[in-house]
């Protein structure tokens, strides 16, 4: 565990930043929280709306079991207390995107209680830089619709497609102390949600957005007054908001002013936050238990089924990659940071172990290195992601197996990989057709070595005179003469033998 040393240097001394995040994550589900309407992103306006979502007279909400299940699984993934008894409350306010005139949420009795998320601040040194961020609660609630102001010169239109979509509000404790910690927390939370499958984590589509609570104080003193910046939709922006808002607050305080508890908006174009409304004109939401809904009671069988359905989570996976698979801390972190990457890696690993008849641990390092350097490099170059990689895990494993069993050298493997990317052919076929199999034919290699030595008599003299660094030169020349297809180990041995002779 680690203590943050991040401080803002003010004119009057050091300030510490205190950050809490309320993250709204859209629950992955085909239907809305209380209606059967679909939830597809980007659909034509008002095509994903049921009578319930439009709050027609006499319509009633019925909780969607899948949304509840996903919230429970999410709670379990952060080791949180799952409340077997929870209840929905109405948050009352008028707005055109809120058809019912209230949002159904959970103020008094949330479905998930306290939990925690461990963040790592330096991936190369995880043990020394881990910090535990408390999660206060997770509750489920309805999303609102969307106003469209650009459709008509004098009126606004309402799109209710999002109205009633299930959100999880994940509320952290004020445990973060720097922009980096806030960023790491949000990234880690996103990773966990994507592992669990309870939210797709697409921040650019609004599936995940954060309300950022920031205050400043003299180190060790009581919490200061906080501001809340609403609907920040990327990790980078969250970090920017913290930094900007903390500095703004320090400026206000050092100028003798007071921080007003208020809601602010972030303008990414100008990288600043602006006041939206102060506490004084905050709504009185008149929360009360929704009388249309019975309390939510979860039984043990349901909870057990939720638990059984959880995948291996990022922290456990990372520990296993480091421990059982023997990967470096950095590689383990990189491979587990995203559920899709880990899934790809594990497919590569499983196939590699199968065709090489080795344990996963034995093929892990080569697999990780190839994925993180060769494959990632290539994908970066051609602007593709792992999901639409032109090379499958099976083909990657085949390529690695050809290197492992000495059929081709590492150098040749790079060439084969390039051809795979271009043609989509299988590595075995490429090696076969292009005649790239490396040779261990000692006769041919000996002949090549003899010719290299004969052609470079002066360098042989120098080597024998003690300039041993020239060894690599002879190996390289031999490989070149063999068009790269010679087994490097055999070349090494034969060059050494010839030079000694």
Partner 1 sequence: MTNLTDLTVAEIRDGFRAGDFSAREVAEGFNANVAAAKALNAFIVETPEKALEAADAADKAKAAGETLGALAGVPIGMKDLFCTQGVQTTAASHMLEGFVPTYESTVSGKLWAAGAGMLGKLNLDQFAMGSSNETSYYGNVISPWRRGGGDNAALAPGGSSGGSSSAISARLCPAATGTDTGGSIRQPAAFTGISGIKPTYGRCSRWGIVAFASSLDQAGPMARTVRDNAILLEVMSGFDPKDSTSLDLAVPQWEANLSSDLKGKKVGIPKEYRPDGLNEEISAMWDRGIAWLKDAGAEVVEVSLPHTKYALPTYYIIAPAEASSNLARYDGVRYGQRDLPDGAGLQDMYAATRAAGFGPEVKRRIMIGTYVLSAGFYDAYYTQAQKVRALIARDFEQAFEKCDLLLTPTAPSASFALGEKQADPLAMYLNDVFTVPASLAGLPAMAVPGGLDSAGLPIGLQIIGKALDEQTVLNAALAIEERSGFTARPDKWW
* Residue 61 sits in the site that holds partner 1 (CB under 8 A): yes
**Per-residue x/- track, 294-333, partner 1 (CB under 8 A):** x---------------------------------------
- Interaction residues for partner 1, span 63-82 (CB under 8 A): 63
Distance CA 429, CA 418 (A): 14
Both tokens of residue 501? 């002779």
297: enclosing H helix or E strand: strand 296-297
* Residue 284 sits in the site that holds partner 1 (CB under 8 A): yes
* Residue 55 sits in the site that holds partner 1 (CB under 8 A): yes
Residue 303 C-beta: closest distance to partner 1, Å: 21
Which has the closest alpha carbon to 392: 425, 354, 363? 425
**Binding piece for partner 1, criterion CB under 8 A, among 90-98, 244-252, 429-437, 493-501:** 90-98
* Residue 128 sits in the site that holds partner 1 (CB under 8 A): no
- Of 42, 57, 220, 443, the residue at the interface with partner 1 (CB under 8 A) is 57
**Binding piece for partner 1, criterion CB under 8 A, among 16-24, 91-99, 121-129, 217-225:** 91-99
Residue 169 C-beta: closest distance to partner 1, Å: 20
Distance CA 344, CA 397 (A): 11
Residue 95 C-beta: closest distance to partner 1, Å: 8
- In the sheet with 89-92, reading across from the earlier edge strand, the strands are 102-105, 89-92, 288-289
**Binding piece for partner 1, criterion CB under 8 A, among 98-106, 223-231, 352-360, 458-466:** 98-106
Between 163 and 178, CB nearer to partner 1: 163
CB crowding 290-306: b at 16 or more within 10 Å, else e = beebeebebeeebbeeb
- Of 12, 30, 47, 51, the residue at the interface with partner 1 (CB under 8 A) is 51
* Residue 442 sits in the site that holds partner 1 (CB under 8 A): no
* Residue 102 sits in the site that holds partner 1 (CB under 8 A): yes
- Of 22, 118, 122, 292, the residue at the interface with partner 1 (CB under 8 A) is 292
Residue 87 C-beta: closest distance to partner 1, Å: 12
Integer CA distances (angstroms), 27 to 101, 201, 202, in order: 22, 10, 11
Helices assigned H by DSSP within 231-328: 235-254, 300-308, 314-323
Distance CA 443, CA 495 (A): 13
Q: Rg of the chain over CA atoms, in angstroms? A: 30
Helix, coil or strand: residue 188: helix
360-369 and 393-404 are packed helices; what angle lies between their axes, rounded to 10 degrees? 100
* Residue 286 sits in the site that holds partner 1 (CB under 8 A): yes
* Residue 94 sits in the site that holds partner 1 (CB under 8 A): yes
**Binding piece for partner 1, criterion CB under 8 A, among 55-63, 121-129, 187-195, 312-320:** 55-63
CB within 8 Å of 148: residues ≥ 6 apart: 45, 156, 157, 158, 159
* Residue 96 sits in the site that holds partner 1 (CB under 8 A): yes
Between 140 and 482, CB nearer to partner 1: 140
Distance CA 445, CA 443 (A): 5
- Of 59, 107, 419, 498, the residue at the interface with partner 1 (CB under 8 A) is 59
Between 260 and 294, CB nearer to partner 1: 294
Residue 291 C-beta: closest distance to partner 1, Å: 4
Give the largest CA-CA distance in the chain. 99
* Residue 291 sits in the site that holds partner 1 (CB under 8 A): yes
Q: Where are the strands (E) in 93-222, listed by range?
A: 102-105, 115-120, 130-142, 146-148, 157-159, 166-172, 208-217
- Of 14, 40, 47, 56, the residue at the interface with partner 1 (CB under 8 A) is 56
Question: Is residue 274 packed enough to be buried (19+ CB in 10 Å), middle (13-18) or exposed (0-12)?
Answer: exposed
**Per-residue x/- track, 146-185, partner 1 (CB under 8 A):** ----------x-x---------------------------
Distance CA 99, CA 295 (A): 23
Interface contacts to partner 1, rule CB under 8 A:
51, 54-63, 90, 92, 94-96, 99-102, 156, 158, 284, 286-288, 291-294
């Amino acid at each position: 565990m680690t203590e943050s040393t991040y401080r803002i240097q003010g004119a009057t001394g050091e300030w510490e930043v205190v950050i809490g995040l309320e993250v709204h994550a859209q629950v992955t589900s085909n239907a809305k929280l209380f209606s059967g309407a679909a939830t597809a992103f980007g659909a034509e306006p008002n095509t994903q709306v049921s009578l319930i979502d439009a709050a027609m007279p006499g319509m009633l909400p019925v909780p969607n079991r899948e949304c509840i299940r996903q919230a429970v699984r999410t709670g379990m993934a952060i080791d949180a207390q799952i409340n077997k008894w929870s209840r929905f409350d109405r948050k009352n306010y008028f707005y055109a995107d809120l058809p019912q005139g209230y949002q159904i949420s959970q103020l008094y009795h949330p479905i998930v209680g306290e939990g925690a998320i461990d963040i790592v601040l330096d991936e190369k040194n995880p043990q020394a830089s881990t910090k535990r961020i408390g999660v206060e609660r997770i509750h489920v609630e309805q999303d609102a619709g969307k106003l469209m102001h650009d459709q008509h010169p004098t009126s606004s239109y309402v799109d209710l497609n999002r109205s009633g979509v299930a959100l999880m509000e994940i509320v952290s404790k004020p445990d973060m102390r720097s922009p980096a910690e806030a960023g790491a927390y949000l990234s880690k939370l996103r990773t966990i949600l994507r592992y669990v499958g309870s939210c797709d984590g697409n921040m650019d589509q609004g599936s995940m957005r954060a309300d950022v609570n920031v205050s400043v104080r003299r180190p060790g003193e009581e919490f200061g007054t906080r501001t809340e910046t609403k609907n920040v939709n990327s990790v980078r922006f969250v970090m920017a908001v913290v930094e900007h808002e903390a500095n703004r607050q320090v400026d206000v305080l050092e100028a003798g002013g007071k921080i007003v508890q208020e809601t602010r908006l972030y303008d990414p174009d100008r990288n600043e936050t602006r006041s939206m409304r102060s506490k004084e004109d905050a709504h009185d939401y008149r929360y009360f238990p929704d009388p249309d809904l019975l309390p939510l009671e979860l039984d043990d069988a349901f909870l057990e089924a939720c638990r059984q359905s959880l995948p291996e989570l990022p922290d456990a996976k990372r520990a296993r990659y480091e421990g059982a698979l023997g990967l470096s801390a950095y590689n383990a972190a990189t491979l587990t940071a995203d559920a899709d990457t880990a899934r790809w890696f594990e497919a590569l690993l499983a196939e590699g172990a199968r065709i090489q008849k080795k344990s996963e641990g034995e093929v892990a390092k080569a697999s990780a290195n190839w994925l993180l350097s060769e494959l990632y490099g290539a994908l970066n170059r051609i602007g593709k992601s792992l999901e639409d990689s032109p090379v499958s895990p099976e083909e990657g494993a085949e390529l690695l197996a050809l290197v492992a069993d000495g059929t081709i050298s590492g150098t040749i493997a790079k060439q084969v990989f390039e051809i795979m990317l271009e043609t989509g052919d299988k590595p075995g076929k490429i090696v076969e057709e292009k005649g790239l199999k490396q040779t261990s034919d000692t006769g041919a290699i000996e002949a090549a070595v003899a010719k290299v030595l004969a052609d470079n008599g002066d360098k042989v003299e120098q080597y024998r005179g003690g300039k041993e660094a020239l060894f690599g030169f002879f190996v390289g020349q031999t490989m070149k003469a063999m068009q790269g297809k010679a087994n490097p180990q055999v070349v090494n041995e034969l060059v050494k033998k010839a030079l000694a002779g």
